[in-house]
Amino acid sequence: MSDSEPSIGIDLGTTNSAVATATDGLMRIIERASGQRLIPSMVGIRPDGTRVVGEEARQLAETFPENVAYATKRFMGQRWTPELAAKARTTWPFAIAAGPNDDIRIKIAGQTMPVTQIAAMVLSELRSDAQAHFGREVRQAVITVPAAFTDAQRQATKEAAAIAGLEVARLINEPTAAAIAYGLAESFKGTVVVFDLGGGTFDVSVLDIRDGVFSVVATGGDPFFGGEDFDGVLVQWLLSHLTDGPTRERVMHDKAALQRLKGLAEQAKKAISTVERSRISAVLVPDAKGRGVVLESMLTRDFFERLVRPKTEHCLAIVEKVLTDAKLDAEHVDAVLLVGGMTRVPLLRQLVSERFKKVPSAAVNPDEAVALGAAVHAAELVSQRKSTLLLDVVGSTLSVGILGGGVKPLIAKNSSLPCTAKELFNPGRAGQTTARVSVLQGESARADENTLLGELTLTGLSGQFRADSELEVTFELGTDGLLSVSVVDRQTGHKEAARLVARTDLSPQELERLKQKEAEHQAAAPIVPLDDREKQRLVRRALHQLIVSLRGVHKDIRAAALDTGDRDARDVTEALARQIVDAERVEASGSLDEVLATTTSLRDLLSRLTDAPLGQ
């Protein structure tokens, strides 16, 4: 890799994604042509067959929800099962199908696509933004993944990158990337806990940061848990307001209505992060008499916190497990870093603060920390400066299945990466000519309670007795967490080494076809002139300044409402909070038209509230 070759860090998120770069230790998010710093991780197909990604896909979902795929990170590297397909029918407006290798395919707008192709479309958008920023081709990237991602999920991420035309310099865990950004931003030295709760995944990591060395001590998490689960609780609560059985059934089977409910739930959740209550009002599908079903409710912060208590307890249980694995007491933690949009929820911040007896750091934007840290590491790898050193660990124990349904661990959880382990085994019985090696991931002592990563079969064993055949099994785990396994008969020297069959890799032919298709799409994409990009960024920054001003007014009115108990002031406070939440979403990922309309609206609102005209 050339010293002058540009490099990027990518946070490929469940809900939103971001791309960043780092030069001489200075980190920055690469904005989109319209100034957005985040891109919704959504892909849609318009009725005319046009592909849209990001904010345009989010808008499409409001009218054609079955044409849009989102939160597909949860399917990366997974195998299709009837149970998963049934869950998808009740959870997402799109359907899933099985591919030739039992990989998961997403069905939208009459098209069926591998889940890695969906991810590649998001990565392709981020790559295009980076190329517009640098004015040249960009290929080298560090991409982040949840710490608890399996070998198959990591391989699927690399496959998506290949389709998008990217070369993965390294996969790194999301909490580790966030810690890199924090360590550099604050010149921090000590022990830090990273609490990373995103839209669809949850990770907790303990790191020791000293003199440019970022050493992961322990990590844990849940790759199928995140903000989407909190939203799901609210959606079920909203559905409970529909007391008429037939109407509720109609809403539950109407994809557009469910998408509307999901949006309402997310909006209310964000609003009560600022105020104590939020009014929810919507007109849903027609009832049996053709009248629109009106949904009216009030969500208070106190009720929300009681509603999601089991979810927060799940988070804290994982925190305790990671602290135990790290052999660390909470009082010996020097700093706590909150990452992911869900960590803006006051209850979570409160619980984390109480557990560690310190206020979590707000030094790095929780939505951007992961991409920024990945960019720093990408720059290090490309330039080979080696001013920082990353020492990551294994997320789960790796074992071999043995007789009786047990396991023999070869690589323990939280072992330092990269690592290699070897172990000798004998065939299960005398005279056995074939041996099957089951590779497992997980912490249980029982094979059937762990995840089967794959099996290797070694044939041609010739020993008359069990002791005659010694089978040497080798596990090699690289810095990006990808596993290779081999088994050799020490008597004959016969060796078997293969990719793990649990991976859902595409065939070489399909992979090449998708890469070519994506390259053609990138080549045909219009290029936004630099002057236009800068104008759109300035428009978005003007909106940001208005939001800051509105927050100040909101704070003053809220203080007055608390002092006087004035009901009108309290109502104004709640209305302002909702408008601030909407404006922040538009600033982060809204279209240019939305930004302009919101800017005008906020300028008028501030003028009325302050009783003085605002300058242009």
Residues marked active site are found at 11, 73, 174, 196
Spatial separation of the C-alpha atoms in residues 139 and 460, rounded to whole Å = 44
How many degrees, rounded to 5, is the angle at CA 210 between CA 207 and CA 211? 145
Spatial separation of the C-alpha atoms in residues 400 and 327, rounded to whole Å = 26
- Tokens 């949904």 map to which residue? 295
Spatial separation of the C-alpha atoms in residues 103 and 105, rounded to whole Å = 7
Q: Residues 210, 214, 215, 219: what is their CA dihedral angle, to the nearest 10 degrees?
A: 130
Burial (CB < 10 A; 0-12, 13-18, 19+), residue 187, is: exposed
Q: Which residues contact 139 (CB under 8 A, 6 or more apart)?
A: 5, 165, 166, 167
Instruction: Output the CA–CA distances (angstroms, integers) from residue 396 to 79, 113, 148, 411, in the order listed.
Output: 19, 30, 7, 9
DSSP string, 478-492: -TT--EEEEEEETTT
Task: Output the six-digit token pair for 311.
Answer: 């979810």
**Contact indicator for 200, 74 with CB cutoff of 8 Å:** yes
- Alpha carbons within 13 angstroms on the beta-carbon side of residue 459 total 0
B/e letters for 221-247, b = 16+ CB within 10 Å, e = fewer, are bbbebbbbbbbebbbebbeeebeeeeb
Task: Output the six-digit token pair for 240.
Answer: 């409970």
